[in-house]
Amino acid sequence: MERISRFRSRVLLIFFLVIAIALSVYLYNVQPGVNIDYANGSSELADHTVSSDDIIPFATLNPSDSNPDLMYEIIKQLEILFADQKSTADFKAMMDELESAADEARNVSGDKDWKVYSKIKQCQYKYLDVLTEYVPKLLANEKFFRSAFG
């Protein structure tokens, strides 16, 4: 029963991380600290009710357990969630594609202008596409998932 509970927790975590990427990909305001009124073009400093310490960035150089980025956390959780499928072709392909997208995002450099944000957005799209392609296939191979949702 404990294994099922941990599995459900991991599925929910992956789901919420994917949603976080999806929201990050589809929200237009990409200027940190600025609220933009798209109806009239005005802008103002954003209300900082959430500190930057509470936010995991999409990409950071050399992520680790003490300095994670969102991609690092997702990959870590996927390895736990799909531990029984690590040797499958789908899992290996997913991890290779995720690592490639992560490396690409982590190597985006330059001033924080629209070109940098655009490159990061492209990496987010790529990351989301990989998760969307492989996670449903891998979940379908999980015994618990099949019995609960099959």
Domain ranges of the chain: 2-28+55-149
**Amino acid found at 66:** S
The pLDDT tens digits for 43-55 are 777 765 555 566 7
The predicted-structure confidence for 56-92, as pLDDT tens digits, reads as follows 888 888 999 988 888 999 999 999 989 999 999 999 9
Report in angstroms the alpha-carbon separations of 103 from 55, 96, 109, 112, 134: 20, 10, 12, 18, 19
Can you give the pTM of this predicted structure? 0.66
